Amino acid sequence: MNANITVLSTDVLIIGGGSAGMWTAKMARRHVDDVLIVDKGPLDWGGLCSMSDGNFIVPHEGENLMDWLDDIVYYYDGLCDQKETLATLAKARERFRDYEAMGHTFARNPDGSYHTAPQRGLPHIKATTSAPLGKGGQNMRRELLTALKALNVRRMGNVMITRLIKDGDAVSGAVGFFTRSGLPLIIRARAVVLATGIGGWKTSYHQNSISSGCVELALTAGAKLRSMEFAGIWNTPERFAWTGQSVLLPLGARFLNSRGEDFMLNHYSPIIGSKTDTLYNVRAMVLETRAGRGPITFDVSRIPPEGIASRRPEAGWMKLNDTKLKAKGIDFFTDTQVWVPQIQTSQGGVQTDSEGATCVPGLYAVGTAQSHLVGVYFGGFSLCQAATSGHDTGLAAGAYASSKEMPAFDFGFAEKCLDDELAHLGRQGIMPKDMDVTVLEVVTASDVSILKSAGALSRALDRITEIRAELIPYMAAPDSHYLGKLIESRGMATLTEAYIRSSLARTESRAGHFREDFPLRDESTPPYWVVLSMEDGKMKTHREYLPMDEYPIKPTRFYMDQFNWS
């Protein structure tokens, strides 16, 4: 074996060091002595958790869990795993208390109650906010990291994992490389947890950390994906990044067209206006622009002064943005800004059971690497789901690892996988940034990502298939840093194909998926998941129907019905 290869062993290998990965490590240590987190970013940076506000979905004492579940089933247009969702809501209270026990501060009102923000015009769902504003995610990262240090959890940064290795049907470890030195790495493990998030598209610097590598890791290992037709499509200022519209809209903010009309309230959503999920606002933005009523602006003039004061960033990257904008004479809360749609993240994921286990023995997925969302989102759910799933998956993966001997490891195959990746170094070819732009040209078309149609999706599938077959093999990286970017670009192309194939397979409109050629729900069949797997080297999709007869809520009302897209 190559003497330059670093070989490590661990009981539980966790790929991804965000909040879900840290929660998983924290709980896995209850069963095993050695847990290792590897992350492609800097050591202990905390993933996207560090960039969040720290809002947390949790029903507080006295609130009825079934009311919350009813809201979610309605919001998801019936496409909801009710058993799993109800369990998440019930466990959210415990994880919320765990955060407080670790020293986290959630904002409170003058009367001592928790400060909460209504979500998407729903009667019960509210996000509990962190304090100080803008630093909640950073504080959660610090609190979890303190817990991991006390448990002697090993952590490594700047590590790109490129392939999972198996012993027969079961996972036995992974291979990758150090992104700064380029040196290869082999990690043997009894259990492996994917905690990277499922990935997305690098449409702005705000989203540049999204890698898209989880799709390739899962599919090549034999795991299945679910709900890949759903994507998180946000709307953002044209010139800079800003977060928090889900809180600003209930305070009085709104979207206006070039005529100064509140087009959501006047034309598309007469009940809740723009106080809805971004996907619904984005659909209307596209229709308004098609009709010649663009550009679209975000109006905050109706927010009362105390509301603006409550949302002015106090810390974190948002405070940095606010300070830099003011230095250039721009005040987000007083100036009119043009906003645009922006596809950001996949909201599908790896298909797992209630403990995060995939169909591959020893392989688990956690947090947003799992398939829980259906394209629509309410603020604070990702952090909630990261904590609840990380807690349970960590216990399950740790218990599995503690019951197994270290599996056999195919060092010859592992070394070949490493050689194939490192062969991209130093040769002439297509650069990752150019490939990113090529893939984005396919997926950002509005008839592929927002108002989908069979014709546009089919053309996009032909193009992405061509890209993966004829361009990806000729990518190159001048150094190990760009080799990491190459892996991300390739993963983005794989993710895009999965997204397009799954979008073609759902021949209806529901929740975050809208087909102009199928604008209504398919009432002729029960709600179904689109599941995707690799068969003979090709992506295949099939339907799995939800067990509606086992669910406590039988959907009779649907969030999508309050919108008019005619």
* The three-state (H, E, C) secondary structure of 501-540, written as one string: HHHHHCCCCECCECECCECCCCCCCCCEEEEEEEECCEEE
For 393-435, give the DSSP string: HHHHHHHHHHTSPPPP--HHHHHHHHHHHHTTBT--SB-HHHH
| 53 confidence band (pLDDT: 50, 70, 90) | confident
Q: Tell me the CATH architecture of domain 234-343.
A: Alpha-Beta Complex (3.90)
**Rounded-to-integer distance, Cα 159 and Cα 45, Å:** 13
pLDDT attached to residue 202: 81
Q: Strand, coil or helix: what is 436?
A: helix
Terminal Cα distance for the chain, rounded: 64
Q: Is the pLDDT of residue 210 over 80?
A: no
Beta strands 528-535; 225-226: pairing state? antiparallel
Q: Is the pLDDT of residue 285 over 90?
A: yes
Q: Which residues pair with 428 in a beta bridge?
A: none
pLDDT attached to residue 406: 97
Element holding 384 (H helix, E strand): helix 381-402
Over residues 406-447, the pLDDT tens digits come to 999 999 999 999 999 999 999 999 999 999 999 999 999 999
What strands, in cross-sheet order, belong to the sheet with 231-237? 231-237, 337-346, 296-299, 254-256
Whether the full predicted model's pTM is greater than 0.85, yes or no, is yes
What ranges do the domains of the chain cover?
Answer: 234-343
**Rounded-to-integer distance, Cα 214 and Cα 40, Å:** 12
Over residues 452-468, the pLDDT tens digits come to 999 999 999 999 999 99
**Rounded-to-integer distance, Cα 456 and Cα 250, Å:** 35
pLDDT attached to residue 207: 54
Task: Give the Å distances, CA to CA, from 246 to 33, 50, 106, 127, 230.
Answer: 42, 19, 18, 10, 19
Q: CB of 528 within 8 A of CB of 226?
A: no
pLDDT attached to residue 312: 85
Q: CB of 253 within 8 A of CB of 298?
A: yes
Over residues 341-384, the pLDDT tens digits come to 999 889 999 999 999 999 999 999 999 999 888 989 888 899 99
* Helices of type H across 102-233: 136-150, 213-221
Structure tokens belonging to residue 41:
């970013």
Neighbours of 190 (CB within 10 A): 26
pLDDT attached to residue 400: 98
**Rounded-to-integer distance, Cα 290 and Cα 492, Å:** 28
The larger pLDDT score, comparing residue 4 to residue 247, is at 4
Among 233, 202, 493, 199, CA closest to 367? 199
**Rounded-to-integer distance, Cα 479 and Cα 484, Å:** 9
For residues 263-283, average pLDDT? 93
| 311 confidence band (pLDDT: 50, 70, 90) | confident
**Rounded-to-integer distance, Cα 174 and Cα 163, Å:** 6
Phi, psi (degrees; rounded to nearest 5) at 118 = -60, 155
Element holding 10 (H helix, E strand): strand 6-15
pLDDT attached to residue 208: 56
| DSSP annotation of 291 | T
Q: Is the pLDDT of residue 211 over 70?
A: no
Residues 6+ apart with CB under 8 A from 164: 171, 173, 174, 192, 217, 220, 221, 363
The larger pLDDT score, comparing residue 527 to residue 1, is at 527
Over residues 467-503, the pLDDT tens digits come to 999 999 999 999 999 999 999 999 999 999 999 999 9
For residues 277-282, average pLDDT? 92
Among 491, 516, 508, 450, CA closest to 233? 450
**Rounded-to-integer distance, Cα 114 and Cα 292, Å:** 44
pLDDT attached to residue 363: 98
**Rounded-to-integer distance, Cα 80 and Cα 59, Å:** 18
| 206 confidence band (pLDDT: 50, 70, 90) | low
Over residues 113-144, the pLDDT tens digits come to 999 988 888 999 999 999 998 789 999 999 99
Report, in angstroms and rounded to the nearest whole number, the Rg of the chain calculated over CA atoms.
23
Q: Is the pLDDT of residue 205 over 80?
A: no
| Region of poorest pLDDT, from 99-113, 176-190, 298-312, 358-372 | 298-312
